[in-house]
Structure 1
Amino acid sequence: MRKRLLPLLSGLMMLAAPAIAQTNSDTDFVAALAQAANANEVIINELQQDKLKGMGLTAAMAWHGASPWISAVNRGAKETFERHGVKVLVTTDAQYDPAKQVADIENIQALKPDMLLSLVIDGVSAKVGLQKAVDNGSGLVLLSNPIPGFVHGKEYAGIVSDDMQGMGNMAAEAVNQYLQGKGKVGVIFHDVNYFVTNTRDNAFLRALEAYPGIDIVARKGFVKEQDTSAIASAMMLRHPDIDVIYVAWDAAAEGVVEALRGDGFTQVKVVSHDLGVNNLLDMAQRGNMLASVSDRPYEIGATMARIAMLAKLGEQAPLFTLVPFDLVTRDNIKDVWQQAYQADVPRIINLALGD
């Protein structure tokens, strides 16, 4: 159901407002990204593989939610663990609820896995449970989000993530290519202190400054994905001359595409991050979705598993290890999907592409 527009009109942010305020701790992590390793540098050699198979190791995974992206991360980790003789005891889905994730981590502790992989929703609330798991001998590897106060090499072996700054830069380049250096942009950013999305959003804004002919005429933050539809409608009502809207991630962009389609703004394009079937279907049908910048979730999971196993062998990983990303357009949907998910593109997208 579409939401009322008037309350949102008065709440639209002025252009001078920053995309997101990051903490000093986050700023340090952003600087650390420049020293990150590449996922292809994390290798388990034959001697290490033989050692691992004889150790009888176990692993658990505490994820933040459920989606095709998370399933690909989980599958990449699970298959990599199993190839090296590691038994995966349990995988949990917190349903994007920090309290449930805290409970999941507490339940995992009872199993005492040798390794624990997780993307943590709220590092503050999960910290106590994770500390107990680490104290009980579970080697922790994180996906994207740091834990406040945790020390690399002590409480956790490393953080695996996409190249957040590179993805933001690429999204800006996609906008520039489409607009050919001149046009008007609306920005719908993630207005929560969340390291991954904040870094990507801010990188996008900084990169767009390099194109003086492109003007950001509206910015508005969101907390809940379901709010983006009303935000987009309000933004277009106030700025009907917008050419492109940037949205922080794919699922949040679905509401924007829906609003543009419903309000008749068929010419306005959307640029975002990640891969989702609904937006790719719109892209395949030459709708509002112009492009998305996708990381490689299967490779993220596989890299997390390798770092966790190497840590058990006494090998220390860098603070950050980054996985490559790809710009997704209608011309390469199938190739990027295969690269990201290690699976064939859904049949409905193939049909929309005319294959």
Structure 2
Amino acid sequence: MRHGKRLVVWALLVALSLTLAACGGSGGGQGGGGETLPEAQEALAELEGKVLSTGPNGEEPTPADEVTLTDEELGQVKEMGAKAAIVMHYGGDDWSRAQINALETRFKEMGIEVIATTDADFDPGKQVSDIETVLAQKPDVIVSIPTDPVATADAYKKAAEAGVKLVFMDNVPEGFEQGKDYTSVVSADNYGNGVASAHLMASTLGGEGKIGAIYHAADFFVTQQRYDAFKKTIEEEYPNIEIVADQGIGGPDFAGQAEEAASAMLTANADLKGIWAVWDVPAEGVLAGARTAGRNDLTVATMDLGTPMAIELASGGMVKGLGAQRPYEQGVTEANLAGYALLDKQAPPYVALPALPVTSENVMDAWKEVYNQEPPEQVREAAGE
């Protein structure tokens, strides 16, 4: 599955959605200014196929389409009978499940046995323990997303010193050198998704109004990229939109903390038109806070196409737009890079997939791209199918 031709279609669908917003259609914001913004449409179209993010150490991005294995290389990997472990920061959301599904599927095609899949539930100490447990099973490869670049570094270092090939998602342990300590890191264009969510919110609001922002308070590279991109885009490109409140949340109850933050923002700012949330789980908390406050007219923008966000978009709810990652394709790419490591094939240091703007108009097709499967029944029902 590759995204080239579909992106063109989706760019047109995004533009259509923004036009509908101006006319009060299903993509429109109930609290918006009532006018679509040509500059927002143009900016979204310009994102197509591009990656704005750099890697954790400033690396230039390599497109995921360039990370491939030839039939001969695939045969060589199959003959190795290698073993792999998947060490997650968290495994209980659509994003994580999609990556795990892709990794397991692609590893099976590569003849690599998955001997363990762990879930640290955002706890660095638990992840350190998970790594130690996994190492006792002697994997050849570990694919992992570090919960904390500092607290987990020693554990990953022990794995590297034991000869385990490391492929990372999103984050890299502090002090690690690509090509020596790990193979590569794979990520979505988190900066680009932050930019996309800013343009989508700005267009829904008609380019004016007061908004709030809820960001991730932890030292986590990709979520910081999202917040930086959103804030910079709003401040530099939409002078009539003012971020009057922003609040960091540290978890682990991201939805609950976001609900409290949103409620406080709405209480302090009766004229608040929108709230941005750093990913879909905090956005669920924003929706809960808005409903409790009787603010069903609030415009919400976020990142990640989780099931609740897809339902909101499909039903014309408060979520008016988001920037989506492609976790299934990320997982396939990570598995291919594991193959690079086993073959001692030189790998690019940072591989990224472009941002995907999603609105009510393209949410059903976007789901297929993001998860490599049909939308679930509750999303189809919300869309009236």
Q: Which residue is 1:65 aligned to?
A: 90
- Secondary structure at the residue paired with 2:150? helix
- Which residue of 192, 201, 223 maps to 2:218? 192
CA distance in 1, matches of 2:135, 2:99: 22
Indicate the residue corresponding to 1:127 in structure 2: 153
Aligned to 1:19: none
- Alignment pair present for 1:78 and 2:108: no
DSSP-derived class of the 2:142 partner: strand
Q: TM-score, normalised by structure 1?
A: 0.89
Query: Which residue pairs with 1:49 in the alignment?
Result: 74
Q: Which residue of 2 aligns with 1:106?
A: 132
Distance in 2 separating the partners of 1:42 and 1:320: 11
For residue 187 of structure 2, give the secondary structure of its aligned residue in structure 1.
Answer: strand
TM-score (norm 2): 0.82
Alpha-carbon distance between aligned partners in 2 of 1:193 and 1:329, rounded to the nearest angstrom: 29
Deviations 1:33-78 (A, max 9, x none): 5x11011110101121121111221111101112221111011111
Matches within 5 A, 1:1-355: 29=55, 32-33=58-59, 35-66=60-91, 67-208=93-234, 209-224=236-251, 225=254, 226-355=256-385
> SS in structure 2 opposite 1:153?
coil
Letter in 2 for 1:63: M
The farther-off stretch of 245-254 and 45-54 is 45-54
Displacement, 1:30? 5.4
Q: Distance in 2 between matches of 1:354 and 1:78?
A: 33
Kept after mapping to 2: 8 A contact 1:260/1:288: no
Q: Which residue of 2 aligns with 1:22?
A: none
Q: Which amino acid aligns with 1:190?
A: H
CA RMSD in angstroms, aligned pairs only = 1.6
Comparing 306-315 and 246-255, the one that deviates more: 306-315
* Number of residues of Structure 1 aligned to a counterpart in Structure 2: 328
Q: Distance in 1 between matches of 2:372 and 2:273?
A: 34
1:141 Cα deviation from its structure 2 partner = 0.5
How far apart in 1 are the matches of 2:55 and 2:73?
A: 30
Distance 2:193 2:57 in 1: 16
Aligned with 1:125: secondary structure? coil
Using a 3 Å threshold, how does the CA distance of structure 1 residues 261 and 350 change in structure 2: closer, same or farther? same
User: What letter corresponds to residue 377 of structure 2 in structure 1?
Assistant: R
Q: Which piece of structure 1 moves more, 183-192 or 165-174? A: 183-192
> Does the Cα contact within 8 Å between 2:192 and 2:354 map onto a contact in 1?
no
1:132-159 deviation digits (Å, cap 9, x = unpaired): 1111111001100111011111110011
2:368 corresponds to which letter in structure 1? Q
CA distance, structure 2, for counterparts of residue 129 and residue 117 of structure 1: 14
Share of identical aligned residues, percent?
35
CA contact (8 A) 2:56 2:172 kept: no
Q: Distance in 1 between matches of 2:112 and 2:340?
A: 12
Q: Distance in 1 between matches of 2:317 and 2:342?
A: 49
